[in-house]
Amino acid sequence: MTPPPNSISSRNVAVIGAGAAGLVAARELRREGHTVTAFERQKQVGGLWVYTPNVEPDSLNIDPDRTIVHSSIYQSLRTNLPRECMGYSDFPFVTRPDDETRDPRRYPDHREVMRYLQDFAKEFDIDEMIRFETEVLRVEPAAENSREWRVQFRSSNGVSGEDIFDAVVVCNGHFTEPRLAHIPGIESWPGKQIHSHNYRVPDPFKDQVVIVIGNQSSGSDISRDIATLAKEVHIAAKSDAYEKESSIYSNLHIHPTIDRVYADGSVVFQDGKVVFADAIVHCTGYKYCFPFLETNGYVTVEDNRVGPLYKHVFPPALAPGLSFIGLPSMALQFFMFEIQSKWVASVLSGRVKLPSEDKMMEDVIAFYAKLKSLGIPKRFTHFLTDPQWTPMFEKLKPHEAVLISQTEYFNWIAEQCGCSSIERWREEQYNIAIKKDEDTFRDDWDDDDQLIEEAYRDFARFKP
């Protein structure tokens, strides 16, 4: 339903964060005619792609008063998706042959992603909307029953302040607050433990026996990085669906999950195998965390479910004034940020209508009930479960996983806001990329030349 043009309005909108989500949110909001202020506590754009060798002093990140290091990327990190499908739709993430300092690889390193985001910010003059080195401390309704939002902030030079906005778009990222696995006996296990948030280089593990818990992207990459220097690396994996013995690293071994650890340094896996280890690296993921957000209980985080949220974006009772970009994981992130941002921007202007609060709530309740009936735990609420991920959900049959596939999700949002949905080549590239050989996928791909050509034909429409 499209309202007449004279009912379209411009809002004063705060965006929290200037990572890949915040940058495109700011662009889409301004394109729609809104006035945007983005708050970013770092000195520059890029979010988690701003690599730092610094780590938090508490290697498991348990101390609530610790100084937060935002980024979770390690020195050797290269993208886990081909660059064509990783970029925003109208600002292709292509190679820059004119600049020899750029990484031309199809799966480039993290510096190249950072430079792509810097290029994006420059191209669309996004920096001028950003207040750098300014941390948002609190976001709350401006007054009882008010539709406005108060944003309190403090800049790095100690100056505090607050501003009132019509709307707040939360883009603070969700790879900074670690989640830890519970391991029976860990209190007396004598080895070193770190979470992958604090992993940068393999050197501290030289000649050691290391256990890596988790075998998704980070676990798989970090175990191989450590295997270049360690004596042995043992991956404790919940599912063997994504992991087979490495064809490159003979010192890398796969096990089921850990049953128990002991004070003598032993680690016992669920198949009864025992390894005496020096260190455990927890590649066990992250928690959603919004320490600044005060919604009088309308939005909560429960077992990593942020809710209630209509289609992972709008809390029904507070929509459209409060929205979240980027919560779903296991998806084409930059594309998703872009399409969600277009939706938020068009709803805020009034060009696109949301259903009533009751209808949105009904949808959320039905979605949660469906997840429950399929045996999907709350913590997977924001997984867009394409069939490829089905093995993670023991009770889910492949046809049921399609219920919340990323393609359906993107198509649905595109239809709402009248924008283009996901390109065929992008979807296909993603589907091929995630069925990867963990040892070789970044340099050994020859399966989708046609898709690459299709992508580049599409890119020709946009300025490089």
Nearer Cβ to ligand FAD (149/269)? 149
Q: How crowded is residue 345: how many other Cβ atoms within 10 Å of its Cβ?
A: 29
* Residue located via tokens 């009248």: 418
Nearer Cβ to ligand FAD (46/320)? 46
Query: Sign (positive/negative) of CA torsion 115, 121, 125, 131?
Result: negative
Q: What is the chain's length?
A: 464
Query: Sign (positive/negative) of CA torsion 332, 334, 335, 336?
Result: positive
CA atoms of 37 and 26, how far apart (whole Å): 8
Nearer Cβ to ligand FAD (38/417)? 38
Nearer Cβ to ligand FAD (75/239)? 75
Nearer Cβ to ligand FAD (114/237)? 114
Measured between its terminal Cα atoms, the distance across the chain in Å is 35
Shortest gap between Cβ of 287 and ligand FAD (angstroms)? 13
Shortest gap between Cβ of 351 and ligand FAD (angstroms)? 24
Shortest gap between Cβ of 95 and ligand FAD (angstroms)? 16
CB of 176 closer than 8 Å to CB of 290: no
Shortest gap between Cβ of 372 and ligand FAD (angstroms)? 27
Nearer Cβ to ligand FAD (18/279)? 18
Shortest gap between Cβ of 213 and ligand FAD (angstroms)? 15
Residue 68 is classified by DSSP as P
Shortest gap between Cβ of 203 and ligand FAD (angstroms)? 19
CB of 164 closer than 8 Å to CB of 148: yes
Nearer Cβ to ligand FAD (11/442)? 442
CA 76 to chain centre: 19
Q: Please, which residues have CB within 8 angstroms of residue 422's CB and are 6 or more apart in sequence?
A: 332, 335, 406, 407, 410, 411, 414
Q: Please, which residues have CB within 8 angstroms of residue 323's CB and are 6 or more apart in sequence?
A: 167, 168, 169, 170, 313, 314, 344, 347
- Tell me the three state secondary structure of residue 35: strand
CA atoms of 88 and 68, how far apart (whole Å): 28
CA atoms of 212 and 409, how far apart (whole Å): 33
Nearer Cβ to ligand FAD (86/279)? 86
Shortest gap between Cβ of 8 and ligand FAD (angstroms)? 27
Nearer Cβ to ligand FAD (171/364)? 171
CB of 167 closer than 8 Å to CB of 321: yes
CB of 46 closer than 8 Å to CB of 116: no
- Chain residues binding ligand FAD by CB under 6 A are 16-22, 39-42, 47-49, 70, 72-73, 79-81, 86, 135-136, 171-173, 175, 218, 292, 326, 333-334
Shortest gap between Cβ of 73 and ligand FAD (angstroms)? 5
Shortest gap between Cβ of 349 and ligand FAD (angstroms)? 22
